[in-house]
Structure 1
Amino acid sequence: MTRAVSNLHRSAWADWWEGTRRTDIWWTLAWFDIVLRYRRSMLGPLWLTLSMGAMIGGMGPLYSSLFGTELSKFFPHLALGIIFWSFFASMVTDACNAFVSSSNYLKQGYFPISLFVWRSMARNLIQFAHHIVLYVPVAIWAGITPSWSMLMVVPAMLVALVNAHALGLLLGLVCTRFRDVTQIVTSVMQMLMFLTPVFWLPSSLPGRAQYILWNPFAQMLDLLRTPLMGGVAESHNWYGILIWTAMTLIASSVLFNKYRRRVVYWL
């Protein structure tokens, strides 16, 4: 039996682990994606930082005036909201095309499909690293002092990455089989951007509208943003996001176990 055939008959866990452990492959592919995107550019990936900084700098004073909020309090809220939402949105939309955009690899030889989900995540983590540096000057300007509560962003980020990988497997499989789902997901993410407190303050909502804060992106955003602003995230957001994480892990595990071998035939 050839290696390619034996790999196709591996268990779902062995297939997932084979793709996960090959950090040398998926991290290199992700870095090349960034390099090729900014090939022959003088500033290279620094354009990611500059474009995000220009957007935050332009929107901060405007939205602060619209909401009648002191700029020193609103600016960190807006900056972190835009940075993290950009991270969420790119993770989800890229997950839809994780396998389609890697069809040339999957058609030419055996590769565990989880490898290409990690590739998509690594590419977005590199972009996120270029964006999050903007938080430092904003925090200094707003007078946010470091505190131990900021360490809570570490477990929150780990939970976000677990969700990103589970959603990557789930959406990658579904969108490869049903290509229209990619457009649906893109439209839903555009709608959720306005239903999530990215540009506005949760305190500005009337009581009956608080239900929109139940969406998992609003909960994840609170867990990541609040510690970096010197506060403590609401405990119900931890409960909500952990339940959502369990649901995505179960759904992605079922689909991955049942349909992972069919991806190459759907491309």
Structure 2
Amino acid sequence: MSQAHSNLHRSAWADWWEGTRRTDIWWTLAWFDIVLRYRRSMLGPLWLTLSMGAMIAGMGPLYSSLFGTNLSKFFPHLTLGLIFWGLFSAMVTEGCNAFIGSAHYLKQGYFPISLFVWRSMSRNLIQFLHQVVLYIPVALWAGISLSWSALLVIPAFVLLLINAHAIGLVLGLVCTRFRDVTQIVTSLMQMLMFLTPVFWMPEGLPGRARYILWNPFAQMLDLLRTPLMGGTATLHSWLGILGWTAGGLVIATLLFAKYRRRVVYWL
């Protein structure tokens, strides 16, 4: 009892670090989430790869014809767009339920709440790894030649994880208190999918519509996709994401420090 009391009254930083450093717990929980989801399935998580591959194979030639774009250029663009958008969408929407879905753990004993945000992120990363392998045959078919600039995808992915964790903390807290926000976020992500260059090429936008590219998901997609297509992301995208990251960290820190102890009472 005294241990639980001391844990609940530790600083916000110590509370966050306690959840973050327990990789053995949140990675194991994430892995078992995947195992349980595909229990009794013959192919297991490979269904993720097959379903995404079927979607890409069906949409690639169709949208290439609709937009009048060369298939060898559009196919890798669409492939990476769908794969990364799937990761973005899952990180955000499942972040809303990071604490609600872990209520039985939080009600039975003390757990740092950041642990369950990492659990949600890890589960989505495992799913992402099953899908990103589809990029390899597409890149070989399209003849994409990578340069050293492809390594820029590493710091871009680190920025993605930082933002995903901040968003997970914010949405996890807000959606636990106000359950309707989950539906709002889900609808918003569906709309943003069409405002982000997943299916269409950014260079096809008319001048007055290019403000759409200030969308943070469009900027993050540019940082991750462009290096893997042999190009270099724009400075606009780097500066934009750094700004969004700084703002997200400030909001997440303030909300986490003030409301982290109330989560168990909101469940």
Q: Tell me the TM-score normalized by structure 1.
A: 0.99
Deviations 1:29-65 (A, max 9, x none): 0000000000000000100000000000000000000
Residue 262 in structure 1 maps to residue 245 in structure 2 = no
The aligned amino acid for 1:90 is A
In 2, Cα distance between equivalents of 1:3 and 1:45: 39
Q: Aligned partners of 1:179, 1:255: CA distance in 2, in Å?
A: 17
Residue 82 of structure 2 is aligned to residue 85 of structure 1: no
Partner of 2:234: 234
Number of the residue aligned with 1:168: 168
CA offsets 1:148-179 (integer angstroms, 9 cap, x no match): 11100000000000000000000000000000
> Over aligned residues, Cα RMSD in angstroms?
0.6
1:216 matched to which residue of 2?
216
Number of matched pairs: 267
* Structure 1 counterpart of 2:40, one-letter code: R
2:131 alignment counterpart? 131
**d(CA) in 1 for partners of 2:205, 2:17:** 44
Say which SS state the counterpart of residue 198 (structure 1) adopts.
coil
Aligned position for 1:55? 55
Alpha-carbon distance in 1 for matches of 2:200, 2:187:
20
Aligned sequence identity (%): 80
Distance in 2, matches of 1:45 and 1:32, equals 12
Partner of 2:100: 100
How do 1:24-39 residues align onto structure 2 when only pairs under 5 Å count?
24-39=24-39
The corresponding residue for 1:207 is 207
The answer to whether the aligner puts 1:252 opposite 2:252 as a matched pair is yes
Secondary structure in 2 aligned to 1:145? Answer: coil
Aligned to 2:87, the other structure's residue is in SS state helix
Flag structure 1 segments of 5+ consecutive residues without an equivalent: none
Q: Which amino acid aligns with 1:244?
A: W
Partner-residue secondary structure (3-state), 2:211: helix
Alignment partners' CA distance in 2, 1:183 and 1:109: 29
Match of 2:111, SS state, is: coil
Q: Structure 1, residues 219-262: CA drift from partner, whole Å, max 9, x if none? A: 00000000000000000110000000000000000000000000
- 2: CA distance, partners of 1:47 / 1:152: 30
1:16 aligns with 2:11: no
Report the Cα offset of residue 145 of structure 1: 1.8
Matched to 1:197, the amino acid is P
C-alpha deviation, 1:146, in angstroms: 2.6
Q: Which runs of 4 or more aligned residues in structure 1 lie more than 4 Å from their structure 2 counterparts after TM superposition?
A: none
Looking at structure 2, the residues matched to 21 and 238 of structure 1 have their Cα atoms a distance apart, in angstroms, of: 28
Q: 1 CA distance for matches of 2:211 and 2:251?
A: 24
Distance (Å, rounded) in 1 between the aligned partners of 2:249 and 2:221: 20
Give SS of 1:151's match: helix
Q: TM-score, normalised by structure 2?
A: 0.99
Structure 2 unaligned runs (5+)? none
Amino acid corresponding to residue 143 of structure 1 in structure 2: G
| Letter of the structure 1 residue corresponding to residue 70 of structure 2 | E
Deviation at 1:203, TM superposition (A): 1.1
Letter in 2 for 1:83: I
